[in-house]
Amino acid sequence: MDQSRIRNFCIIAHIDHGKSTLADRLLEATGTLTSREMQAQVLDSMDLERERGITIKSHAIRMPYTAPDGEKYVLNLIDTPGHVDFTYEVSRALNACEGAILVVDAAQGIEAQTISNLYLAIGQDLEIIPVLNKVDLPSAQPELVAQSITDLIGGDPDDVLHVSAKTGVGVDKVLERIVERVPPPTGDPKAPLQALIFDSTFDTYRGSVVYVRVKEGTLRKGDAIEFMATHARYNAEEIGHLKLKMAPVQELGPGEVGYVIGSVKDVADTRVGDTVTHQRRGASEQLPGYRDVKPMVFSGIYPTDSNDFEDLRAALEKLQLNDAALTYEPETSAALGFGFRVGFLGMLHMEVVQERLDREFGLDIVTTMPNVRYTVELTDDNHTEVENPSDMPDPGSIKEIREPYVKAEIITPTEYVGALMGLCQDRRGTYVTQEYLTTDRVNLKYELPLAEIVFDFYDKLKSLSRGYASFDYEFIEERASKLVKLDVMLNGDTVDALSTIVHREKAYDMGRKLSQKLRELIPRQLFDVAIQAALGNKVIARETVKALRKDVTAKCYGGDISRKRKLLEKQKEGKKRMKQVGAVEVPQEAFLAVLSME
Ligand code: GTP
C-alpha cells in the first residue's frame, strides 16, 4: 500500500472531554460505520468501561477516507486510554502513530490529563492537532480555551478547530486536517521487518491476537516470525486489517496497522511494546518502546469463602491475559487465609480489577488496604522490598525505609488554590511551583509521597474544589521517610491484614481514628471486641465494641412470617461480605477503614 496515503493518529484528551464521541463521529463521517450500525461508543467495548466512561484498553480501527479533492486515504485511529493509571498504555499506543488529535472541552478548558497526555505525545514527536470540542455548549468559551491551548503548544489560536462531536459540527474539518498535517509514515518495504506490538487480546480459540504497527519491512501471511523480547517463534497464520471486524489480508507493509494471529497459546510470549521480526534475515534491533510495567499499588485480595481460592486464581489468570500490567502472587494471611497480593498501576486500575472479579467472575472477595512498595535498607547492609505492610522487618533491623514519590500537577480555578495547598501540605507534599494557565486557572505543582495519594486524595481534591480541580501524577523517585508500621489487634490478636505503614508523625492520630472507625464498622457480637492500635508493642489507641445478643427477629412482633423471613434474608445478605477473623466477624469495609476515615 502506498505509504503517502496512510495516516496513523490517536486522540488524546482529559476524561470526559469527548474522545470517544469524536471517534464515533469520525467512524460515521468516513462511512466505516453507519449510524444504524452504531451502538453508542463502539470503541468502548467492555461493559465496565462503558459504565464508567473510561477507555481502558487501546483499540485500533482502519477508516477509508476520500478527501475533498477526491484523493483516497487510509486513516488508522488508534484509541488510547485517558487516565493516569494507564500512562503506559497511552505511550505504547502513541508509539504507533505519527499524529495526535488533542481534544479539549471548550467549556472546561485544559485539565490535568490534557497536559500529561500532551507531554507524552510531544515526547514521541507526534504532530499535534488541537481541537476544541463541545462548542455547542452555551458555557463554551472557545476563544479563551483556544488561547490557553496555543499558550501551551504554540501556534495560532485561530488555527484551533471548533468541533461539536455531539452535533457533528466541524468533524469534516478534523478529517481534512489529519490528512494535511499528520505526516505519512516512512519505512522501507524491503528492510528487515520491525513491527511494534501496541496491544494484544486473547481469543480462547485462536490464541493471542497481536495488534501491530509495521515500521520497517513487510509482513506476509505465513511468514515465520519471532517476538524479539521473548525470542518466541511462530508462524503468522493470519494477518489482517482492523476494521469493525478483523479483515484478513496477504501482507502488511511499512506504516500499516493490523493484527497477527499465530496460534500463540502462551500470552507471555506476546508482550506489548515488543518488536515482531522475521526468523530469517530479521532485524538486529528492537524498536524502542518495550518496557516492563511496574505496578505501583498493591492490595491483598482474598476469597470470602476460602473454597473459592482456586477460582480466584483462575480469574486473575484470565484477567492478566488482557492486562499485562496486572501482577499477582499467592500470599497467606493469618487473618484472611489464602489469597493473593495483587499489583496495580494505580487506584483506578485496582477498582476496575476488583469490579471485574465481582461482576465477570461472580467472586466474593475481601480486599485489604492498598499500599505502595517500600524499599527497606537493613542494618546488615542488605535491602528488601516490601509490598505487604505485615512483611515489614523488625524495626530494630531497619536502617532506612524509602517510599515512592510522585510529581503531581493539579489544575484548579484560583479560588480553590488555598484549600488544595492545605490538602497537599497535609499529605506531606512539597510545593514546587504554580503556573497560571489563564487568569483564573492555575497549574499547581507538588511532590508527594505516592502512599498519601493512594488513600483518598482524589476524592478530597474533588470535594475541596467542588469537582473543578483535576489531577495527574507521575512517579519520580524513591525517598527516605520516617515510616512505621501501625498494627491493629482484635481481642489481643494482631490482624495482619489491617497493618499499615504510616509516617511517624501521623501514627498516633491515625491509630486513634482507625480504631474509632473500626468500632463503627465491626458489628456487635456475642462478646466484647477490643480494638487496639499499636506501634510495635506499644498500644496507642483502644476502643471496644460492646457485646450484644444478635437476635434480629426479636424486633418482629406477632408471627408475621414473611417479614421475619425478609429480615433473616437481609441478615444473610449482610453476612456475605463478612470474614471470620479468629472469633470476630469483620466486614469487608473494615479492611478498607483507612479509606473512609475523616
Ligand atoms: P473517556 O472515555 O472517559 O476518556 O471520555 P471521553 O473523552 O471519551 O468522553 P466521551 O466521548 O465519553 O464524552 C463525555 C461526555 O461528553 C458524554 O456525555 C458525551 O455525550 C458528551 N459530549 C461529547 N462531545 C460533546 C459535544 O460536542 N457536545 C456536548 N454537548 N457534549 C458532548
Q: What average pLDDT does this structure show over 478-485?
A: 95
Distance 134 CA to ligand 1 centre (A): 8
CA nearest 6: which of 104, 52, 78, 72?
72
Rounded CA gap, 260 and 240, in Å? 7
User: 83 in ligand 1 pocket by Cβ < 6 Å?
Assistant: no
Residue 495 has pLDDT above 60, yes or no: yes
The length of the chain in residues reads 598
Ligand 1 pocket residue status of 82, Cβ below 6 Å = yes
Give the residue, out of 10, 14, 20, with the most ligand 1 atoms within 8 A of its beta carbon, to mutate for a pocket test. 20
Superfamily per CATH, domain 3-181: P-loop containing nucleotide triphosphate hydrolases (3.40.50.300)
For domain 375-481, give the CATH number: 3.30.70.240
Question: Quick check: 374 and 402 in contact, CB under 8 A?
Answer: yes
Query: Residues of the chain with pLDDT > 70: what percent?
Result: 87
**Domain ranges in the chain?**
3-181, 194-278, 297-368, 375-481, 485-596
Whether the pLDDT of residue 462 is over 60: the answer is yes
Partnered with residue 449 across adjacent β-strands are 405
Here the cell at position 530 is 477490643
143 lines ligand 1 (CB under 6 A): no
CA-closest candidate to residue 134, choices 104, 159, 157, 114: 104
Question: Does the pLDDT of residue 492 top 80, yes or no?
Answer: yes
How far, in Å, is the centroid of ligand 1 from the Cα of 511? 43
Mean pLDDT, range 353-371, rounded to an integer: 87
Q: Is the dihedral of CA 349, 329, 592, 522 positive or negative?
A: positive
Name the one residue in this structure whose C-alpha cell is 496497522. Answer: 257
Binding-site residues for GTP sit at 16-21, 133-136
94-133 pLDDT, tens per residue? 889 999 999 999 999 998 888 878 888 888 899 999 999 9
Query: Can you tell me the distance from the alpha carbon of 125 to that of 128, in angstroms, rounded to the nearest whole number?
Result: 9
Ligand 1 pocket, 320 CB below 6 A?
no
With b for 16 or more beta-carbon neighbours within 10 A and e for fewer, the 311-323 pattern comes to ebbebbebbbbeb
pLDDT score of 53: 46
Vertex 523 angle, CA 518 and 529, to 5°: 70
Residue nearest to atom 23 of ligand 1 (CA): 18
Cross-strand pairs, 479 = 403
Ligand 1 nearest-atom number relative to CA 24: 11
List 529's β-bridge partners, or say none: 545
Q: What stretches of 69-204 show up as alpha helix (H) in DSSP?
A: 87-94, 112-123, 142-153, 171-181
pLDDT class of 291 with cuts at 50, 70, 90 = low
- As a whole-number percent, the residues of the chain with pLDDT over 90 amount to 52
- The yes-or-no answer to whether 297-368 and 485-596 have a common fold is yes
Q: How far is the CA of 53 from the centre of ligand 1 (A)?
A: 9
What does the alpha-carbon distance between residue 176 and residue 171 come to, in Å, rounded to a whole number?
9
Record the cell numbers describing residue 249, joined without a space. 489480508
* pLDDT for 162 beyond 50: yes
Quick one: DSSP state of residue 564? H
Q: Is 54 in the pocket of ligand 1 (CB under 6 A)?
A: yes
Residue 390 in contact with residue 439, Cβ under 8 Å? no
pLDDT at residue 265 greater than cutoff 70: yes
- Which residue minimizes the CA distance to atom 29 of ligand 1? 134
Residue of 270, 257, 293, 285 whose CA lies nearest to 98 = 257
Lowest mean per-residue pLDDT among 134-148, 509-523, 538-552: 538-552
306 has a pLDDT exceeding 90: no
Per-residue pLDDT, averaged over 395-414, amounts to 93
Mean per-residue pLDDT of the chain: 86
- Cα 232 to Cα 191, 326, 537, distances in angstroms: 21, 22, 53
Q: Report which ligand 1 atom has the smallest distance to the Cα of 165.
A: 27
Which residue's CA is the nearest one to ligand 1's atom 26? 134
Helix/strand/coil for 414: helix
Q: How far is the CA of 87 from the centre of ligand 1 (A)?
A: 20
User: How many Å lie between the centroid of ligand 1 and the Cα of residue 199?
Assistant: 24
pLDDT the model gives residue 537: 86
Cell of 270: 506476546
Please say whether the beta carbons of 500 and 389 come within 8 A: yes
Is any atom of ligand 1 closer than 6 Å to the C-beta of 17?
Answer: yes
Q: Compute the CA torsion angle 168, 170, 171, 176 (nearest 10 deg).
A: 160
**262 CB within 6 A, ligand 1:** no
Confidence of residue 596 (pLDDT cuts 50, 70, 90): low
CA of 52 to the centre of ligand 1 (A): 12
Say whether pLDDT at 556 is over 70. Answer: no
Give Cβ neighbours of residue 506 (< 8 Å, ≥ 6 apart): none
User: Using one digit for the tens of pLDDT, what is the confidence trace for 26-58?
Assistant: 988 998 876 666 555 455 555 555 554 444 444
Q: What is the mean pLDDT of residues 287-313?
A: 85
* Cell digits of residue 48: 465496565
Coil, helix or strand for 345?
coil
With a cut of 80, say whether residue 580 has pLDDT above it: no
Quote the CA–CA distance of 251 and 111 in Å, as a whole number. 41
**Centre of ligand 1 from the C-alpha of residue 464, in Å:** 24
Task: Assess whether the C-beta atom of 16 lies below 6 angstroms from ligand 1.
Answer: yes
Determine if ligand 1 sits within 6 Å of the CB of residue 148: no
| Per-residue pLDDT at 321 exceeds 80 | no
- Dump pLDDT digits (tens) for 203-245: 778 888 899 999 999 999 999 999 998 899 999 999 999 887 7
- 297-368 CATH: 3.30.70.870
The dihedral through the CA atoms of 1, 122, 150, 437 has a sign that is positive
Nearest-angstrom CA–CA distance, 234 and 300: 37
445 Cα: distance to centroid of ligand 1 (angstroms): 27
Question: Does the C-beta of 343 come closer than 6 Å to ligand 1?
Answer: no
Q: Does residue 164's CB lie within 6 angstroms of at least one atom of ligand 1?
A: yes
Q: How far is ligand 1, taken at its centre, from the CA of residue 20, in Å?
A: 7
Query: Domain 194-278 classified CATH 1.10.3720.10?
Result: no
Cβ atoms of 341 and 329 closer than 8 Å:
yes
- CB atoms near residue 439 (< 10 Å): 8
Which residue has 425478609 as its cell numbers? 566
Homologous superfamily (CATH) for 485-596 = Elongation factor 4, C-terminal domain (3.30.70.2570)
Check pocket membership of 25 for ligand 1, CB cut-off 6 A: no
Determine if ligand 1 sits within 6 Å of the CB of residue 52. no
φ/ψ of residue 351, rounded to 5? -60, -40
Q: Which of 17, 19, 21, 52 gets mutated to test ligand 1 (max ligand atoms within 8 A of its CB)?
A: 21
Please indicate whether residue 251, judged by its CB atom, sits closer than 6 Å to ligand 1. Answer: no
Per-residue pLDDT at 160 exceeds 80: yes
Decide if 542 contacts 531 (C-beta within 8 A).
yes
H or E element, residue 321: helix 309-321
Rounded to the nearest angstrom, the distance between the alpha carbon of 17 and the centre of ligand 1 is: 5
